[in-house]
Amino acid sequence: LTIDKGNHRHFMQKEIYEQPVVVAQTLKSYLRRLENQVAMPDMDFDLTAIHRVTIVACGTSFYAGMVAKYWFERFARIPVDLDVASEFRYRDPVLEPGGLALFISQSGETADTLAALRHCKANGQTIAVVVNVPTSSMAREADLLLPTHAGPEIGVASTKAFTCQLAVLAALAARFARVRGLMSAEDEAGIVEHLAEAPAGMNAALGHDEDIEAMAHLVAPARDVLYIGRGPDYPMALEGALKLKEISYIHAEGYAAGEMKHGPIALIDDKVPVIVLAPSGPLFDKTISNMQEVQARGGRVILISDAAGIAAAGEGCMATIEMPAVHPLIQPLVYAVPVQLLAYHVAVLKGTDVDQPRNLAKSVTVE
Ligand code: G6P
């Protein structure tokens, strides 16, 4: 199998553009459109008996897990413990019988995540994995394999594998909610509808690629960049910052918007661009008030929101990126696109090796 870049300049760009198709492909295995139900592979354990979930991953896959924690807790009211694999395996975590340990990995081979999986298995946990390589070690050692169908990902910085992970995790959250009696058949049908809209939402986001390319010069000269968001947009801020630092080598930090005042606000001046992820919704006003605290200190903001959000708060921003108005469940999948594209165009402007950034590896099989 040879994989080429097609009409794209880099694999990463190609993989960003593939997302609507591969997310649709992944969702095909997890949604029964005719019955309007979430579909899961057969499980030889009882999902209703699970009373705690432990999520472990590294890098971008960890941020998918962090989004999932919001979903599992909100929809299924199931307590979730979450950690990066390198910490988890050495911190002597409490693993009570009846727990589900969920590992998320593009490669299925990341050494720390695999070691954490084996530790959980040895401690009586049921093992579920969300992996993109179905022949990987993690896939083989799991009780429940939840594959993503992103296809081979070549760019070192993960993009399409991430959004496919989110798609699977959203479906799993709905299944959990359903079996725990917290979601009606009607609500499940609604979730299925919304998830099925994700590829179109991501396509609409890709439609803003040229605007994002045109604003890359606002970020490229910066030494430091901040990303802020609330709720599931907090992990998305972390992911945006990770993408930027991985491929453009600009120091970037993601922060929970409400936590800005406990530190990072001290960094704000007109040389630190602040990327604000603020879709319309219950947390919008709170995030915008944090954005205004930045602006009051001379900070220059790029606001990523929908049309209503930009109309309400876009004035005074250095730039805005308009996203389609979508259901909150699929917002992370849609908002992944502009943060990936921004990192990509900044890196291209800086002339870095986008697909093979210095010091990084696609799959980290050493500790
Ligand atoms: C490396 C890659 C990242 C990836 C991380 C976890 O650091 O550069 O893009 O997110 O490993 O990899 P995994 O295969 O476990 O998802």
Return the CA Rg of the chain.
20
What 8-state DSSP symbol labels residue 93? -
For ligand 1, whether the C-beta of 107 sits within 6 Å is: yes
In 3-state terms the chain splits into helix, strand, coil percentages (rounded to 5) of 50, 15, 35
From 107, 113, 239, give the residue whose CB has the most ligand 1 atoms within 8 Å, as the site to mutate: 107
ipTM of the modeled complex: 0.98
Query: Measured in angstroms, how far is the CA atom of residue 58 from the centroid of ligand 1?
Result: 6
The encoded tokens of residue 210 equal 């040229």
d(CA 350, CA 220): 7
State which residues of the chain have pLDDT below 70.
Answer: 1
319, β-bridge pairs: 302
For ligand 1, whether the C-beta of 132 sits within 6 Å is: no
- Is-catalytic flag, 28? no
User: How many helices (H) does the chain have, and how many strands (E)?
Assistant: 13, 12
- Give the ligand 1 atom nearest the CA of 360: 8
What 8-state DSSP symbol labels residue 222? -
Pairing of strands 37-38, 31-32: antiparallel
Nearest CA to ligand 1 atom 2: 362
The string of pLDDT tens digits covering residues 196-206 is 999 999 999 99
The encoded tokens of residue 130 equal 């969300």
Query: Measured in angstroms, how far is the CA atom of residue 57 from the centroid of ligand 1?
Result: 9
For ligand 1, whether the C-beta of 65 sits within 6 Å is: no
The string of pLDDT tens digits covering residues 321-357 is 999 999 999 999 999 999 999 999 999 999 998 989 9
Which SS3 state, helix, strand or coil, does residue 80 take? strand
What 8-state DSSP symbol labels residue 324? P
For ligand 1, whether the C-beta of 247 sits within 6 Å is: no
Nearest CA to ligand 1 atom 4: 59
- Give the ligand 1 atom nearest the CA of 113: 15
41-52 burial: b if 16+ Cβ within 10 Å, else e: eeeeeebeebeb
d(CA 127, CA 58): 17
Query: Measured in angstroms, how far is the CA atom of residue 181 from the centroid of ligand 1?
Result: 35
d(CA 66, CA 80): 10
d(CA 174, CA 76): 7
The encoded tokens of residue 212 equal 């994002």
Quick one: pLDDT at residue 1?
Answer: 60
d(CA 236, CA 163): 11
Q: Which of 5, 121, 350, 362 is catalytic?
A: 362
Quick one: pLDDT at residue 363?
Answer: 87
For ligand 1, whether the C-beta of 363 sits within 6 Å is: yes
Q: At how many degrees (to 10) do helices 331-350 and 209-219 cross?
A: 50
Query: Measured in angstroms, how far is the CA atom of residue 187 from the centroid of ligand 1?
Result: 34
Nearest CA to ligand 1 atom 15: 105
The encoded tokens of residue 367 equal 């500790």
For ligand 1, whether the C-beta of 106 sits within 6 Å is: yes
pTM: 0.97
From 105, 106, 135, 165, give the residue whose CB has the most ligand 1 atoms within 8 Å, as the site to mutate: 106
For ligand 1, whether the C-beta of 58 sits within 6 Å is: yes
